[in-house]
Amino acid sequence: MRARASLSSTICLTTACLATAFAVGCSSGGGDTTGAAGSGGAAGATGSAGAGSTAGESGAAGATGAAGQSGAAGATGAAGATGAAGAAGAAGATGAAGAVGAAGAMGTAGAGGAGAFSIPTVAWPSDACKTMAATLIGQMTRAEKAAQMVMAPLGIASVADVQTLAPGAVFAPGGYVPPGGSGIAAWGSYLDGFIAAADQTTHKIPFLMGADVLHGNNTAIGTVIFPHNAGLGGSNDPALVQKGAQITAMEGAAAGLNWTFAPFAGVSWDDQWGRVYESFSEDPMVANMFVAAATMGLQGANGLGTGMPALVSCSKHWAGDGQANPGTSNKGGVVDRGNITIDEPTMMSVGVGPYLGALGAGLGSVMVSDASWNGTSLTVSSHMITDILKGTEKFAGFVSTDWNAATESKGASIAGAINAGVDMLMQPSDWKGAINTINTTTSISDARITDAATRIIETKCQAGLFGWKRDTTLAASVGSADHRAVARQAVRESLVLLQNTAAALPLPKTAKVYVGGSGSDSLDTQCGGWTIAWQGAGHLTTGTTISQAIAKVATVVTDMTQADAVVIVLSEKPYAEFEGDSQSINTLPAADFALLHTARMSGKKVVAIVTSGRPVLISDHLTDADAWIAAWLPGTEGDGVADVLFGDYHPTAKLSHTWPMTDAQVQLIFTATPYAPLFKFGFGLTY
């Protein structure tokens, strides 16, 4: 078990760590808002900190430190938005970095520094959008503004309902199937009716059309499904993640969607959680880079409205997602929506840190977590929503709740959530009642309602949604070869080679290969949860399984005795959220291990591929295969696996999450001491 109390002294948020791709650990300690801290310490808002430390908002940090927003950092440090960093440091948006540093959008990088990928700092909303929103708000009643603050759920709300009540958004619950089925055309024509209904409302304010478009447009069949985030998080290729998210946005917009509950910014520190695979990394700095990349791909490289076709991002779940204590789940799971017991500096670095790049890049919306922090529901935390997110971090967009959280999160209420700073409610249980409650609750002030509705309308304006209609020509490129090629690249860049005894890989293309295991021919296990159905139903869509991909390259034999090499794909069954929480990570089927053992006994060369949503227990079986690959949840493009197996591409990915040796290590992360997992964070072989 990891020692939470010591974590704040071992993690900081520095882009220098990103620049060195997992190799460098950083340190920080606690300081107050205006204080100064010494070696290993951290200083707050305007402080300055010494060697190895972190300084906040406008601070300055020494030797290996990191400084926030407009700070300056020394030798190997990293500075935020407008800062300057020294020798091997990295500086943010308009900063300058020295020798081997990397600088952001408008910054200057020194020799050896670079990057095809940089995160901009976007100021929004535009004056035009502010004026438009103010004009509309001036014409709206309290009830009309309250309606902007609620999402109407598809499957419950009709077109007539939304035309009458003019909610701010329409959203698809996970796994929702439109009346005409899950094809893009059926989604498109169904959603067109809702989109058009906005024009019939009094103020003609467009609806946000939301869904969990998470790894490709996973709501519709025939789309390309990308690897889930845990795989992408090992790629060290944010530019590719940005490109994939752009394709995701295009395939989402083709269905008539303009808003997605993504990217996931949680830093999972517990493999028992059913959402590990949604987490880019256990390192908040790595997560920050990929969350920003995904946001830029989804919304546009320079903020809302710059990336049409695009989706407004709703990054989630603010904040500290992945840090909850086991046994505290509010949903009958183990960890999901549990209680987080970390101190404020740790919340800032681990819980808030992953959002910073995306916030700078113009993130449009944020979903507040349904978990609790030190016993208080985050859904009603005015400290985290109003003080930190909207205050310190100057978030310009709007905040939504998670599923029924305003009434189901422990200690929460609709008035409590809105007064804490929530702007929009996801209350599928009673969305009409939620509008009425906001409107009629006297403890919710007119000013708070005006602020919330203004933020929502400004976001819609900035995103270009006034006058937006589904572009029917986009359907032609959904699931296209070009899009699948990008996902195939993402697959090969997310495969982590864990073991390669006697150079078993790559396999020669002349080899006769036996392919088996529960995941060998299954889009269900390749795609995991949040694919067509909430709990995953990848088989309903189109893709290439791993065995199909292998068969395109080599001869597949069905009799193991005839094979030169045996490939066994050991797989977890798909799951999502609390349904996937598990007290043990011994989740691979016994039959897969038995088959692997049979393969070992056959005397052939044996390759084990694991498809899973979390690191799983394999330590007792390592010797049953020559080579082991962690493929995470690769999605529909199994060809990417064959690319690496047969040596057309070298494996390059590194573990984004520590791989435990035993169930006792499910909470072990790279900052822990002692740290002796089966495979360390950042581990990955190549050939």
Residues with active-site annotation = 402, 577
| Nearest approach, Cβ of residue 212 and ligand BGC (Å) | 5
Question: Cβ of 683: how many Cβ atoms within 10 Å?
Answer: 18
Alpha-carbon gap, residue 547 to 290, rounded angstroms: 30
Structure tokens at 229: 């985030």
Question: Cβ of 82: how many Cβ atoms within 10 Å?
Answer: 20
Residue-level length of the chain? 687
Question: Cβ of 221: how many Cβ atoms within 10 Å?
Answer: 21
Residues 162 to 191 in contact with ligand BGC, rule: CB under 6 A: 173-174
Structure tokens at 525: 């296990």
Give residue 14's Cα distance to chain centre: 19
Instruction: Give the residue, chosen from 57, 144, 212, 639, that forms a contact with ligand BGC under the rule CB under 6 A.
Output: 212
Pick 212 or 643: Cβ nearer ligand BGC:
212
| Nearest approach, Cβ of residue 266 and ligand BGC (Å) | 10
**Closest to 313 in 3D by CA, of 231, 385, 369, 252:** 252
Alpha-carbon gap, residue 258 to 365, rounded angstroms: 12
Instruction: Give the residue, chosen from 259, 403, 575, 683, that forms a contact with ligand BGC under the rule CB under 6 A.
Output: 403
Pick 70 or 260: Cβ nearer ligand BGC:
260
| Nearest approach, Cβ of residue 172 and ligand BGC (Å) | 8
**Contacting residues for 645 by C-beta, under 8 A, at least 6 apart:** 505, 506, 507, 550, 553, 567, 607
Pick 264 or 514: Cβ nearer ligand BGC:
264
What 3-state DSSP class applies to 248?
helix
Residues 612 to 641 in contact with ligand BGC, rule: CB under 6 A: none
What 3-state DSSP class applies to 346?
helix
User: Could you tell me how many residues of this chain bind ligand BGC (CB under 6 A)?
Assistant: 8
| Nearest approach, Cβ of residue 319 and ligand BGC (Å) | 14
Site for ligand BGC contains 493 (CB under 6 A): no
- Complete edge-to-edge strand list for the sheet that includes strand 169-171: 151-153, 169-171, 208-211, 259-260, 312-318, 365-368, 398-400
Pick 280 or 659: Cβ nearer ligand BGC:
280
Site for ligand BGC contains 402 (CB under 6 A): yes
Pick 124 or 403: Cβ nearer ligand BGC:
403
| Nearest approach, Cβ of residue 512 and ligand BGC (Å) | 45
Question: Cβ of 173: how many Cβ atoms within 10 Å?
Answer: 15
| Nearest approach, Cβ of residue 316 and ligand BGC (Å) | 5
Residues 295 and 358 sit within 8 Å (Cβ to Cβ):
yes
Residue that is written with structure tokens 């709990």 in the block: 535
Pick 265 or 490: Cβ nearer ligand BGC:
265
Site for ligand BGC contains 577 (CB under 6 A): yes
Chain position whose Cβ is nearest to ligand BGC: 261
Pick 278 or 626: Cβ nearer ligand BGC:
278
| Nearest approach, Cβ of residue 160 and ligand BGC (Å) | 24
Instruction: Give the residue, chosen from 2, 145, 215, 316, that forms a contact with ligand BGC under the rule CB under 6 A.
Output: 316
Site for ligand BGC contains 581 (CB under 6 A): no
Q: Which residues of 202-211 are buried (b: 16+ CB within 10 A; e: fewer)?
A: eeebbbbbbb
Instruction: Give the residue, chosen from 117, 261, 318, 593, that forms a contact with ligand BGC under the rule CB under 6 A.
Output: 261
Binding site for ligand BGC (CB under 6 A): 173-174, 212, 261, 316, 402-403, 577
